[in-house]
Chains A and B, each alone.
Chain A
């Protein structure tokens, strides 16, 4: 699985319990609970496999579903410039 990294110019904070990401262009993106957890794991250096296993373990969801959902979320982040896949 390709490693991923978040855009170094994007920062996040917890506000009212929710994770809010400030994008490099100063747009604000509010993430839902799981999205916020994935974002925080990405910023801590976890890759998609690690995140999917974590979600599988804590939320007792199927590992395949956790992996596909996490991948789709990261792809959405990548589409708006907040994350990128590292194929090296």
Chain B
């Protein structure tokens, strides 16, 4: 049977079994399909469609899908209707798992999950974060095309340790725009449209060379400047790093709701103390990807 990792689902496949393949066994997370309530008791926030209570987090999606993540170990997925599995549905289901459920489970275990891709550049693990549309995935996949090891897209799981900040490689799909795919080396894996992210296509990249936790060496947060500006890099040390780190750690209020505000801030402070943080700004509109790639490579070395 296909693993479903390339987005394909053979007719009659059990959806839960297929989705289990989207989560590395090392994470020890169980996945089941079943009934998920519309709300947790007393409708806790932080948002109407994202609710966090003791040991549980519920997320509702516009198409009727819902996920309930419990105790960092169990994912329950509610599908809107019983239907014949399709590649399109599988891609959406997998997106809910790898973009939402797994990061939530890791937060429930006390970890921060940065909205960042990670690439290993000459032995230096660099998390590339930023708001949607700033080019995280494009930059990371382009760095892969230049020979660097692509470790994860969009979800960098961080664990604080006495050695520093450890990241847990997570072999999951890459979501890229059609424009980026046509400009970059196309992946060998089959691609499918991501219904939840219009204009994006998902594919499974080759697995990272390392599957064990590794130290994080740099964080680069991408931002978009005025048209006509140039690619620029700004180091952010100590307190100056916190606001921009928060933009990629806060996850729509999930992180503070799950970790608690105290632990959230302490975690970010620990990261800011031990990992150099940079803001890399590129111009809006027409921009040179090569300038961005060289900028990231320079920061890594």
Contacts and interface: CB of A to CB of B under 8 A. Distances in A.
Given A11-B261, A22-B265, A16 B239 contact: yes
Contacts of B264: 22
A13 B268 CA distance: 9
Interface in A1-26: 9, 11-18, 20, 22, 26
A15 B250 contact: no
Given A15-B272, A15-B273, A16-B273, A30 B265 contact: no
Contacts of A16: 237-239, 272-273
A12 B99 CA distance: 29
Nearest to B250: A26
A24 to B, nearest CB: 8
B269 A14 contact: yes
B239 A18 contact: yes
B261 A15 contact: no
A13 B238 contact: no
Contact of A20 (B242, B256, B261): B242
A26 B250 CA distance: 9
A28 B238 contact: no
A14 B269 CA distance: 7
Nearest to A13: B269
A15 B239 contact: yes
B243 interface: yes
Nearest to B246: A26
Given A20-B269, A26-B250, A15 B262 contact: no
B239 A28 contact: yes
- Interface on chain A toward B: helix, strand, loop, or mixed SS? strand
Contact of A28 (B242, B256, B266, B273): B242
A12 B265 contact: yes
Which one of B237, B239, B256, B269 has the highest number of Cβ atoms from chain A below 10 Å of its Cβ? Answer: B239
A34 to B, nearest CB: 16
Contacts of B250: 26
A28 B243 contact: yes
Contacts of A12: 265
Contact of A22 (B237, B261, B272): B261
Contacts of A20: 239, 242, 265, 269
Nearest to A29: B239
A22 B243 CA distance: 9
B93 to A, nearest CB: 31
Contact of B238 (A9, A15, A27): A15
A11 B237 contact: no
A54 to B, nearest CB: 24
Contact of A13 (B241, B243, B256, B265): B265
A27 B272 CA distance: 16
Contacts of B240: 30
Contacts of A14: 269
B217 to A, nearest CB: 19
Contacts of B268: 13
Contact of B261 (A9, A17, A18, A28): A9
Nearest to B245: A28
Given A11-B265, A15-B269, 16 more contacts: A12-B265, A13-B266, A13-B268, A13-B269, A15-B241, A15-B272, A16-B237, A16-B273, A22-B246, A22-B261, A22-B265, A26-B250, A27-B243, A28-B242, A28-B246, A30-B240
Interface of B: 237-243, 246, 250, 256, 261-262, 264-266, 268-269, 272-273
Interface of A: 9, 11-18, 20, 22, 26-28, 30
